Structures are given as structure tokens and as C-alpha cells.
Structure 1
Amino acid sequence: MRSSLLIGLVVVVLGVFFYQMSSWPIQADAVPAIIRTYKGPQGGWPAPHLSEDVSHRPLAPLPDVEYPANNPYSETKEDLGKKLFFDPRLSSSGTLACASCHDPDLGWSDGRRRSFGHARREGQRNSMTVLNAAYYDHLFWDGRAEDLEEQAMTAIAGPREMNQGLDLVGEGIRDLPDYPRLFQQSFGDSTINAQRIAKAIATFERGITSRRSDFDRFLQGNRDAMTDRQIYGLHVFRTTGQCMNCHNGALLSDDKFHNLGQSHLGRPSEDLGRFLVTGDTSDVGKFRTPSLRDVTYTGPYLHHGLIFNLREVIDMYDRGMPQVIPKKEAGNPLYPETSPLLEPLDLSEREIEALLDFLEAISTRPRRMSAPELPGMERNDA
């Protein structure tokens, strides 16, 4: 009996060993050399695969957040912004808060394909996470806001979002206990208006950043912070996967706009992207590159939210993001031109698995945060 168990254990161990060896898309004796290279200084890593006109921005830990001169940081203002972020009384219905679509328990998004807004109207796009929003030069999928203050006011006033007139947004909280005092401490007097509400919310949001990941620890010198599979995934990410064309720098985003062939022209889900902001036909179908930090916690993916797992996203890129546009739209002047950065990659199954492992290494569960006690509102802890 004991010998049978021993034989069975040996078979299992050998099976795992050979499976792991077969999971590498290169010869087994070449694996240690690649791993050793990546465990050395970043300057000695293989050159990344970058398409023409794409500059090399090395991967790096996130820098400290910078606060704008016209909205400097204060602890009181951050505390006020947190309350306002969770307060549904900023909406016209009194039922929707910023946190309705940006829930800290759901990666600071809402886990839905498309968010619900005022009167349960479905939004047009997937709700982007506000994680690391402080680092972007443009906000929203189409970049229509240039800073977090503008983003907050746009969401409050949006008819598909909080649907509140900016001249009325302070009415629901002006006479509540604590709010006048917090505005006084944050801004020097107790005036409550849309601009100050937006500044307080933006101050709170700038503090919502990714925790340090295994990849950050790896970059900072702990070369044992990632597994060999994850290190090989980093290699695929930088080379054959061509991911660094758009996902680069500390944010793992170029903060630019690209057409991935997902405008769905001529279909019920049609979305022309940045073109709706600029009116420039060269922007048809373009959307902002999201950060990949904490990506395993921020699904669903793409602006339409139709993709619920990262394997599907990688498969789409591997195929070159083929478009599905009705033939009748071929002569449409808004027919989108996909990014020249897209091309079939022909990744092996093993390379895809390594990429998925690397995406785990750059993801850390966002900080847990409970909703604050709101002025004039009884808290229900039941």
C-alpha cells in the first residue's frame, strides 16, 4: 500500500515537472538564460519590440502624485472629498453617488458591462476605474475632460450619470451639519458650489492609487518577487507580445488614443469614440489606453465592457483585433481606420499563459475602503 502511494506521488511530481517544462515556448535549456538576464539590471534586458515612431518609455514604479497649484492638497479637503464622493445627495435623484460607478470593492469601477445612471438609464460605455486617475492627462474613454476637477463636474451634470445642474449641486448639502465647517476648513470660507465640490472630490481621487505590486518589488531590486513564469511573461510583454507599443512607462499606459477596431460602426452598439469630442474624422473609433495596473481587478474590459476575462482580450490582440463592420458601411466617411500598431501576433499558447501570469504580477487588490459617515444621514451598519 505504502509503495503504491509512493509510486503515485512520483508520477504526479514528474507530471507536474514535464508540464511546466512544456509550458515554456522556448527550449528548456534557454529558459535560465532569459531569467538570469531579467534578474539583472534593466539596462541589460533585451530591447523591447516597438513599432515605428513609438518611443521607449521604460517600465517603472509609480511616482508620487502631484497636486495642481490651483487645487493644492490638504487633509481636510481630502476628507471632504471622500464624503462627497460617497454622497448620493449630489445627484438630482438623491440616489447616485460617484461611488455608485466607482466602488472600492470592485476595483474602483462597478463590475458592469455598462453602468446605470439617472433613472436607471444605461450608460454608453464601461465605467473606467478611477485607480491612478491622477496620472492621466485626459479623463474618460474619449478624453473629454482634461483634469479630475472637470471630470467630476462632467459626471455630476451628465444626463446619463448624476443628472444634476451644476448651479443646484450644492443645494442638497448646504444646510447639513459638518459640510459648511469642512468647506470653511478646506477653502477658507463656507461657500459651497460646484467648483469647490469638484476640487474636493478631485483631491480625494488623486489619492486613489495602486498599491505596490510584485512587479514593483521586482523593479526595485527584489528579483525573487516574481516567479520564473511571470518573468518570462514580462519578456513576452516587452517583445513578441508588442504590448509596450501602448502600455509603457510607470502607468503602463501611453495616455494616448488608438482605434482598436471596436467602434462597431453600423451596429446597435456603435461608438465613434474620440471623434465625438474633436469632430476630427481621424479620431473615429479611438479610445484612451487604460492602465494595466491592477488589471485583474478592474474588468470587464474595453470601452464597451463586452469582454469579461483577460484571456479573451489577449486572444483578440493576438488575432490583430479584427473588425466586424457591416458591408453596407464600406463607403461611410466615418469608416474607422484601425491603428497601424495592430497586427496578428501568432503567440503560442504558452506565451499567452505567461502573459496572463505577468498580468497577475502587476495586479494587487486595491485598498479596502468603507464608505464614510455622511453628514445628516444615519448610517445603517446592519
Structure 2
Amino acid sequence: MGLVKNTIAVMCLIATGPVVAAAGDTADHADYLKALRGQYSEGQSYWPLAITTDNIAPAPMQALPQPEKADAGKVALGEALFNDTMLSRDHTVSCATCHAAHLVFADRRRQAVGIDGQVGRRNTPALFGINLWTSLFWDGRANSAQHQALFPVSDPKEMDLPVAELVKRVNQNEKYASAFAAAYGISEIKSVHLADAIAQFERQIPPPDTPFQQVLQRLPGEPEVAIGMLSDEQLWGLHLFRTKARCMTCHEGALLSDNQFHNTGLSYYGRKFEDLGRYEVTGLASDVGRFRTPSLLAVSHTGPWMHNGLFSSLPGVVNLYNAGGARTKRREAYDNDPLYPETTPLLVKLELTKEERSALVAFLTLL
């Protein structure tokens, strides 16, 4: 009977978290972490149930799959185009300008910087797992890798080159003309071929080689070894990510994204730096201020964070979500405004302690 009571007590402790004393010390914290490690070491099917705000079970965590084999000639063409400044009006900007390989195909800037030093409105997303996305860009304006490939070329703040002009340039380039003829069996290069080649290369971008990807790779066959790769604080952070912090409400599966659009309260509606997000694509009032849930893979290497690069530290991001997102008070001038955005109800105050927030950040740095 005593064994049963002790087992129940440990399970309740894991589900609810340790009791924090007034002085800031955690009662029985070592025992709590030992119990936590024991349960997580059994394998993901034995982990405590994830807690989400909408009570919908999230897709389980799993390693991002390696790229499938592709036509080497098309991939090489795409890589050449990706790195070629010929894709911009004045030959100064390439795709790699904002998606640098050594920066996990991001740029570490608050907002993207394009032709003539123009600063865009949004942060540059990292590129990996591109085939797992159901939409591309923060506002979801593209629905496939091919669809998104040429948007930056014609964007006046990015490359500022009409696609028709790019097609002309490439056809006049003997190297590209010969390579496209060999890879695609064509005598005239069209925009669809350019988009496909770039997409072929982007699909070959490997998953980021991060500590948690290594954990996830070993987890199915060696769960105890995999969890053993985490420190106590990191393991606690993983548990908080899945439970009290409710991160998996939106960050799930291999991408750690639900492929959906949400309003975290950062649209700056009616103010300087306003960005209406998904609304600019759909025209739906419900989409004002919504942005695609970003992947958290390699998140410690992709800052600044949020669609506008507002936060320069992960603790700052955690503090935002701990507060339940940003919730601006509606001014009288907007009382009857049908477009006034509302922060998603999926974000609620979490009441994470200082120690819990630190553990969560420690876990995020592994991703």
C-alpha cells in the first residue's frame, strides 16, 4: 500500500511540478527531477501528457527528416541561382544574402536588408524542412517551395528585379543555358524552371545539427541514452515546454510548428510599424495581425525573434508568453473598428517562476 501511495505521489509531482518555497528554494527538487528523468527515459509514449490551451493533443516531437534524394543537376543549378547576385536589379543581392548557410540559412538581423540597403518589415525565417510547410512566408502568401522561390526577386525592397528580366538574363547566360538544357532537357529557360531549380536546392538543406535533434534521433531506440544527454535543467525545461508553459499548443511535430496563423498581439495596429500579417493575403478581418507559427528548430541561432524581430533575447520572448502575449488596450477611436485585432485566446498567463523560465530557456537553446 505504501508503494502505491509513493508512486501516486511521484506521478502527481511530475504532472503538477515541484512546490516552490517562499524563499525561492524548491522542496524535494532533486527527487522531482529524478522521477521526471525516470519517466522520460521510458520513451515518448510514457511521457506525461502534453498540456495545450485548446486541449488538442499535439503531434509528438520527432527529428526533422533528412532530405530525400534529388536530381543532382537540378540541385546544383538551384544552388548556383540561390547564391547568384544576378537575381537582383543591380547585381548586389542574392538569396544567400538573407539566408546564409553559416547562419542556419537566416541572417541574424532584426529585419531583412535588401537592395540599396532597404530594410524590410519582417524578420528572415531560417530555411529547413521546407516540404513540411503548408505555407511559406510569415503571411503564408505562398503554398509551396516553387511558389515562394521568386517572390523575393520581384520584391522592390529585396531584389527589385522583374521576373521577366531575370528570365532574359538567364537565357543569355551561356553557363546557365547549357546547365538547364542538360538538367531539364529544354532549349528555353522559363520562370517555372528557375523556381523549380531553386526549390530543388532548398529541399536539400539539411536539418540543423543541434543537440536536441541528436536527442530526437536516438529517442526511438535508446530513450534512456537520449534523455541522458540532457542536464537536469534542460530536462525540466523540456517538461515545462510540454506541460505548464503550453508551448506545444502551437509548436509541435518535427517542425515544432502547427503550420497555422496566430495573433500574439504584436501587429502595432494603427501605430507606427503596423503590420497586418495574414490579412494582407486573405482580406479576412479575422486574419488581421496573424502570422505563421515559426519553427523553433535552432531557435537560439535565429534571433532576433518574432515576425518583426522585436526581441533580441530568448528570456524576453519567454516573458511575453508568460504574460499571455501582448494585449493592447483598445482606444476609443477603434471602438467600432471591425478590423481591430484581438490577441489569440490560445495565449494565457502561465505564472512560470523565475526558475521555470530559466529552465525553459535552457531547453530552448538545445533546439
Q: For the Cα contact (< 8 Å) 2:67–2:203, is it kept in 1?
A: yes
Match of 2:65 in 1: 63
What per-residue deviation string (whole Å, max 9, x for no partner) do you get for residues 196-246 of structure 1? 111111111111132343323333223322222211111000000100000
Q: For the Cα contact (< 8 Å) 1:24–1:350, is it kept in 2?
A: no
Match of 2:191 in 1: 194
Q: CA offset at residue 32 of structure 1? A: 0.5
In structure 2, what is the Cα distance between the partners aligned to 1:25 and 1:351? 14
In structure 1, what is the Cα distance between the partners aligned to 2:26 and 2:357? 10
Kindly tell me: are residues 152 and 313 of structure 1, through their superposed partners in 2, closer, same or farther at Cα, counting changes over 3 Å?
Answer: same
Q: For the Cα contact (< 8 Å) 1:24–1:351, is it kept in 2?
A: no
Give unmatched runs, 5+ long, in structure 1.
1-21, 68-72, 363-382
Match of 1:245 in 2: 249
User: Which of 288, 313, 318 in structure 1 is aligned with 2:317?
Assistant: 313
What per-residue deviation string (whole Å, max 9, x for no partner) do you get for residues 165-205 of structure 1? 12111233333342122101221124222211111111111
Is 1:164 the equivalent of 2:125? no
User: Which of 332, 341, 345 in structure 1 is aligned with 2:350?
Assistant: 345
Is the deviation greater in 48-57 or in 332-341? 48-57
State the secondary structure of the residue aligned to 2:291. strand
How does 1:2-21 map onto structure 2 within 5 Å?
none
Match of 1:102 in 2: 99
Q: CA offset at residue 161 of structure 1? A: 1.6
State the secondary structure of the residue aligned to 2:170. coil
Q: For the Cα contact (< 8 Å) 1:275–1:286, is it kept in 2?
A: yes
Q: For the Cα contact (< 8 Å) 2:212–2:366, is it kept in 1?
A: yes
Is 1:287 the equivalent of 2:291? yes
User: Which of 145, 148, 153 in structure 2 is aligned with 1:148?
Assistant: 145
Match of 2:21 in 1: none
Match of 2:33 in 1: 31
Kindly tell me: are residues 34 and 129 of structure 1, through their superposed partners in 2, closer, same or farther at Cα, counting changes over 3 Å?
Answer: same
State the secondary structure of the residue aligned to 1:169. helix
Q: CA RMSD in A?
A: 1.9
Kindly tell me: are residues 196 and 118 of structure 1, through their superposed partners in 2, closer, same or farther at Cα, counting changes over 3 Å?
Answer: same
Which AA in structure 2 matches 1:108? F
In structure 1, what is the Cα distance between the partners aligned to 2:42 and 2:112? 44
Match of 1:233 in 2: 237
Which AA in structure 2 matches 1:181? S
State the secondary structure of the residue aligned to 1:296. helix
The TM-score normalised by the length of structure 1 is 0.83
In structure 2, what is the Cα distance between the partners aligned to 1:137 and 1:27? 42
Q: For the Cα contact (< 8 Å) 2:180–2:189, is it kept in 1?
A: yes
Q: CA offset at residue 143 of structure 1? A: 0.2
User: Which of 123, 141, 165 in structure 2 is aligned with 1:126?
Assistant: 123
How does 1:367-382 map onto structure 2 within 5 Å?
none
Q: CA offset at residue 27 of structure 1? A: 2.8
Larger proportion of helix: 2
Q: For the Cα contact (< 8 Å) 2:66–2:207, is it kept in 1?
A: no
Q: For the Cα contact (< 8 Å) 1:109–1:129, is it kept in 2?
A: yes
Is 1:296 the equivalent of 2:261? no
Q: CA offset at residue 24 of structure 1? A: 5.9
| Number of aligned residues | 336
Match of 1:173 in 2: 170
Kindly tell me: are residues 35 and 95 of structure 1, through their superposed partners in 2, closer, same or farther at Cα, counting changes over 3 Å?
Answer: same
Kindly tell me: are residues 24 and 293 of structure 1, through their superposed partners in 2, closer, same or farther at Cα, counting changes over 3 Å?
Answer: farther
